Amino acid sequence: MSSAVVLAYSGGLDTSIILKWLQDTYGCEVVTFTADLGQGEELEPARAKAAQFGVKEIFVDDLREEFVRDYVFPMFRANALYEGTYLLGTSIARPLIAKRQIEIAKQVGADAVCHGATGKGNDQVRFELGYYGLKPDVKVIAPWREWDLNSRTKLLAYADEAGIPVAQSKRQDAPYSTDANLLHISYEGNALEDPWVEYSEDMFTRSVSPENAPDKPTYIEVEFEKGDPVAIDGVKYSPADMLAKLNQLGGDNGIGRLDIVESRFVGMKSRGVYETPGGTILLAVRRALETICLDRGEMHYKDQMMPQYAELIYNGFWFSPEREMMQAAIDTCSESVTGTVRAKLYKGNVIVVGRKAANTLYDDRLSTFEEDGGAYDQKDAAGFIKLQALRLRTLKVAREKK
């Protein structure tokens, strides 16, 4: 039996049922933790609802700045994409929630933590790897793997019996489930489970469709310091405000929608539809700046690391030593990524049209097709090519002897 458990609590129906189930099943003190990660919902009702259940210790924390500064921006320094497309909006939020739950558990003396992730998805793995990585002896309670409330009917019956208010809209299956934070919003399940069926346009909340986006492009200039964005059009922003502003610019121009089938860590394929307007802009403009600030070797080595780095985050290994090793290398590279990128936002597209940096590696004296004043001797290329061809020539001669 647990003496106290820290529950990741949204205030929604599912986690309210979990709260009551913990009280009934474990007879323990429940401490609720609700995180503001920029999901766009009013969180004070979660506090009031927890109090109605007799919860004495209620935490509602605004983590938006920490989320973007310490999780989103470091991930974007790696240009991370899972399976070449997914910007990891759900994945990157879980380590912070897990970290804060463990901090609260230590603060209040709780010996257990609880999450509301199902036994079929990735989030159970992400939460629990975070918990164990930060507090190896913690007890983890995962109701969806323990209880017999395995249908909507049973959940609603339990809620009714326990006196948990259920809105009429919640008594029918939702057309899809969503997860939101300042980086993205995801849509999965039910109406989206057939990967051949197109999503419904009225589903989206953060972007207009590219077809309905303005006919006139929006130009922006994004300034970076040491790999992170700090200003748009000369206006400085905090990390969270920066991402919010990029979201607004991207959403207004139909940017950041993605419909994919991804490989879950637990083994099955899953279809997800995402809106990540600000992240889509950030990835494009940041990479453009790297092209003039990073050496070819740095860029190419980062590109080799990126798929493994992205997979570590997707699978829940944010607190692993290998992710931290990669992060150290990525952050060292980013020390040189300072400058400005100009982009055109137009009907779902981010089109880079300019980039500049004080420490640029681009030298027009070397790259010009005109007279370069002796900066580059074209005769040197002959020896370079011969040395590069040496192994190919040797191989061809040797194998023709057979």
159 within 8 A of 130, measured Cβ to Cβ:
no
Q: Among the options 14, 61, 252, 259, which is catalytic?
A: 14
Cα–Cα dist 233/244, whole Å: 15
Distances (CA, A) of 325 to 77, 95, 264, 276: 14, 17, 24, 27
Q: Is 150 helix (H, G, I), strand (E, B) or coil?
A: coil
Tell me, yes or no, if 14 is annotated catalytic.
Answer: yes
The distance in angstroms from the start CA to the end CA of the chain is: 75
Tell me, yes or no, if 94 is annotated catalytic.
Answer: yes
Cα–Cα dist 167/350, whole Å: 41
- The dihedral region occupied by 213, where left means phi > 0, alpha psi between -120 and 50, and beta the remainder, is beta
Relative orientation angle of helices 94-108 and 123-134, to the nearest 10 degrees: 40
Distances (CA, A) of 309 to 5, 158, 215, 264, 296: 32, 42, 38, 16, 20
Tell me, yes or no, if 177 is annotated catalytic.
Answer: yes
Q: Pairing between strand 339-346 and 349-356?
A: antiparallel
**Angle, CA of 143, 145 and 148, to the nearest 5°:** 80
Q: Distance from CA of residue 272 to its chain's centroid? A: 14
Q: Among the options 36, 64, 91, 94, which is catalytic?
A: 94
Cα–Cα dist 128/136, whole Å: 10
Q: Where are the beta strands (DSSP E) in 123-282?
A: 139-141, 177-180, 185-188, 218-225, 228-232, 235-236, 257-263, 269-275
For residue 5, report the phi and psi dihedrals to the nearest 5 degrees: -135, 140
Tokens 């986006």 belong to 213
Q: Among the options 91, 123, 186, 323, which is catalytic?
A: 123
Beta bridge partners of 261: 271
Q: Which amino acid is at 74?
A: P
Q: Among the options 70, 177, 252, 331, which is catalytic?
A: 177
Q: Is 275 helix (H, G, I), strand (E, B) or coil?
A: strand
Q: Which two tokens stand for residue 340?
A: 């400005």
Catalytic site positions: 14, 94, 123, 177
